[in-house]
Amino acid sequence: MSKLPDFEGLAMFAKVAEERSFAGAARAMGLSVATVSRGVSRLEKRLGARLFNRTSRQLALTAFGRTLVESASRLYHDAEAMEHAAREQSAQPRGLIRLAVPMSFGLRWVAPLMPKFLRAYPEVSVDLHLSDAVVDLVGQGFDAALRISAQLDPSLVARRLCPVSRFIVAAPRYLERHGRPKHPRDLMDRDCLGYVYRARSEAWRFVNAAGKEESLTPSGRLRVTNADALVPTVLAGLAIAELPEFIASEYLLDGRMEVLLKDWPLPPGGLYFVTPAAGVRPAKVEALATFFAEHLSKPTWRWPR
């Protein structure tokens, strides 16, 4: 015999006693009469005594049944109340969201949105984890993440929010001293800065309008774990770097950087709201996804403007 109590049988027993009918209990519970009858019989066998005296016209609790019915009814109604409360909680956005976001993007574009989100959902709190390292959502207990990538883990549920381009950039003073590269191969002997957490590989892959591909692994004297750390060295005219447009656009707009190899762009990526694949998204996570879709789908960082 299972050591786990027969909660289903106890619930059926309580409902039959309350309705004074197997048919009435079956209708109330959305089950067949046969299912309810089997459940009560199973409980009687487990307890070793009859719970009801049954005739073709009458159903009455036995003396043994009367000793259990109050506790069984309380158990049944407590479980109903607990399920109702749980459904209410899952239907209304409330509780903690653990959210992982790339650091530069998070500081520039997510953190400024948090006051509006928190005002809109006063029962939701957010743990905002800022890191360029790709986190394991399931293993590290995150509810969701924003990812910037050209290719995502297929095990995740993803909602694309907007495109995100990447550019090879340099400062005008660098181009004055070293000339403007015309082909990706021209970068082989240039000081090209590296980004440790670049998606998929360290290689820069270019595709021209005819679909021809070129790739190279950048070589330079500085590698960083955050793309913002590349900016001072690029602005100083010392090197070339790959930057996402949400960082580069302000420097392109005021002329402190220029886009190189316009005929050989890097494949575009996108900004995605991702969650683990298992189960239905809780209301709090769905609210955050909808919020980001509203506020990040038409970004002001797009280049060219």
Return contacts of 134-139, CB within 8 angstroms, 24+ apart.
134/197, 134/199, 135/100, 137/100, 137/274, 137/275, 137/276, 138/276, 138/278
How do 223-224 and 194-195 pair as beta strands? parallel
**According to the model, what pLDDT value does residue 207 have?**
92
Cβ–Cβ < 8 Å for 22, 33: yes
pTM for the full predicted model: 0.70
Half-sphere exposure of 249 (CA within 13 A, CB side): 15
**According to the model, what pLDDT value does residue 114 have?**
97
**According to the model, what pLDDT value does residue 122 have?**
95
**According to the model, what pLDDT value does residue 270 have?**
94
Provide the CA 79 distance to its chain's centre, in angstroms.
30
Alpha carbons 157 and 275: distance in angstroms, whole number:
5
pLDDT of the chain, 305 residues: tens digit per residue: 567 888 898 999 999 998 888 988 999 889 999 999 999 999 889 999 999 988 777 889 999 989 999 998 888 888 887 776 666 566 689 999 999 999 999 999 999 999 999 999 999 999 999 999 888 898 898 999 999 987 788 888 999 999 999 999 999 999 999 999 999 999 999 999 988 887 556 789 999 989 999 998 888 899 999 999 999 999 999 999 999 999 999 999 999 999 999 999 998 889 999 998 766 788 999 999 999 999 999 998 888 86
Cβ atoms within 10 Å of 74's Cβ, excluding its own: 11
**According to the model, what pLDDT value does residue 301 have?**
87
**According to the model, what pLDDT value does residue 57 have?**
77
**According to the model, what pLDDT value does residue 41 have?**
92
Cβ–Cβ < 8 Å for 204, 219: no
